[in-house]
Structure 1
């Protein structure tokens, strides 16, 4: 596969095909099952299901965090997910939910260029503004960076607030952090913090293996880790590959920003 191609895009958008490559390369990843219909595939799902394990379900070809359902702990939870999202795709991925840091790594020329930790959308209290007002202020910042981004107050947000014994008109104390989403996706208000200089060597190894195996030189590598600085066995897992050269995470990241667009152009056209 070449550096930029439709084949790369289609290949990596299919999360299960990507997992097969991870398995071939001995890169740890969460156990998963692909299914088409919750009811017709119920027996396969029951054989895969393990009591006490928390799952995440997502469209097999999904992007931007749309249709991602987390903290699925029972078949009833899965049935509720299916009722809401079954029309969004033809196939779905049921996957073990791994707790830890959401690590996004941007690869250019087959090497790690930038890495960040993504946190699901949140606001921090100033002791004066309501949560609704804090969300409005955060939304303005997001849309100034990228007009396509959004921070919707949906059923998930309201349930999360309720779990925190809060509501939209509540006024959080100074520096009190209020979580608004489960999914750490930038288009849904996630916040990125640069950790490029802290990334453990194992992540560089994974990127190198994947790039050499597929021939891909430009992609984003998503992983989950208890600590991005160590990556010890059993504490770090590969999630998926994004073949589109998205660099918003690193352009607007906290602590440090990267000129990913410039790096891509220099790499593609041999510009020094």
Structure 2
């Protein structure tokens, strides 16, 4: 069985500090690290005990984390959660899928509809009307019991990865797109993109059956058979997660100190030593004029980020080395 990327990096950096890694042979993304001083810690993919389970749980809940961030004085997305009757009958009477539509109309289309507690951009949808709203909300409720409707904000999407008082990486995330060559149709361009991902070690990312892709194509009066003119760019998804085919532009060396301080401050206030802070702003290399926090991640995965080059891979290795060194000296009593 192929060793997952994170596991292989953990094994590599653990060797540098004399730690021993025991990996479950069936679930190869799960393991136990034993340090030279006898301390032990488990990991599961990119999840480590460097963050408390409570802080990670709060960060994962987009509605709750947004509440606290707002109370701490940060600029967050305006939104409200809505529930299925199975989860909470009392709340569902006033905050159900139908009242969610009224709220979306109050905010003004387009709005963002997304699950409250899923990751990797699953079902995050930009909706422009009633039909698209119900399609997105029903998809989410088939998977989980709560979704959030948020105001749509324009701007560039950035992720800043923080460990304690240091920014490890900062990069802009660009949504999944294809570029026309004047000969290939949409489906062929998507297949070429998929092949490029696999070649670069990102595996099969594009879900050709994703309703959001089909929705965006219809909105542009396109379909899988449409030939795209040369150099024309077509964005297939609205969310910019790397796990759904987004691409990264690295700004680690150019991030402005204002945004470094902001990301570090957010992580500290959310009681997270390791965090991925997702921010919308116009330019991360200039002093802060305006920004909106999309969400915060207590177990940021950097697998796709590392696939963009040797420099990025080295940054990820450096991050995990620092995480292991911090855990080695942690007091687990």
TM over 0.5: yes
Is the 2:114–2:149 contact (alpha carbons within 8 Å) kept by the matching residues of 1? yes
Runs of 4+ residues over 6 Å off in structure 1? none
Deviations 1:178-224 (A, max 9, x none): 22112212222111111223323332122221233244221111111
Aligned to 1:20: 67
2:143 aligns to what SS in structure 1?
coil
Aligned to 2:300: 245
Matched, 1:124 2:171: no
Aligned to 1:9: 56
2:77 aligns to what SS in structure 1?
coil
Is the 1:57–1:94 contact (alpha carbons within 8 Å) kept by the matching residues of 2? yes
Q: What's the TM-score once normalised by structure 2's chain length?
A: 0.71
Aligned to 2:255: 199
Is the 1:52–1:73 contact (alpha carbons within 8 Å) kept by the matching residues of 2? no
Alignment of 1:132-147 (within 5 A): 132-144=187-199, 145-147=201-203
Stretches of structure 2 lacking an aligned partner (at least 5 in a row): 1-48, 86-91, 327-333
1:257 aligns to what SS in structure 2?
helix
Quick one: distance in 1 between partners of 2:189 and 2:268?
45
Quick one: distance in 2 between partners of 1:37 and 1:88?
11
Matched, 1:173 2:220: no
Q: What's the TM-score once normalised by structure 1's chain length?
A: 0.85
Is the 2:82–2:146 contact (alpha carbons within 8 Å) kept by the matching residues of 1? yes
**What is the root-mean-square deviation of aligned Cα atoms in Å?**
2.8
Matched, 1:190 2:233: no
Report which structure shows greater RCO (CA 8 Å, sep ≥6): 1
Taking structure 1 as reference, are residues 254 and 231 closer, same or farther at Cα in structure 2, changes over 3 Å only?
A: farther
Q: CA deviation at 1:28?
A: 0.6
Report the number of matched residues: 268
1:83 aligns to what SS in structure 2?
helix
Is the 1:225–1:231 contact (alpha carbons within 8 Å) kept by the matching residues of 2? no
Is the 1:160–1:181 contact (alpha carbons within 8 Å) kept by the matching residues of 2? yes
Is the 1:127–1:173 contact (alpha carbons within 8 Å) kept by the matching residues of 2? yes
Alignment of 1:48-63 (within 5 A): 50=106, 52=108, 54-63=110-119
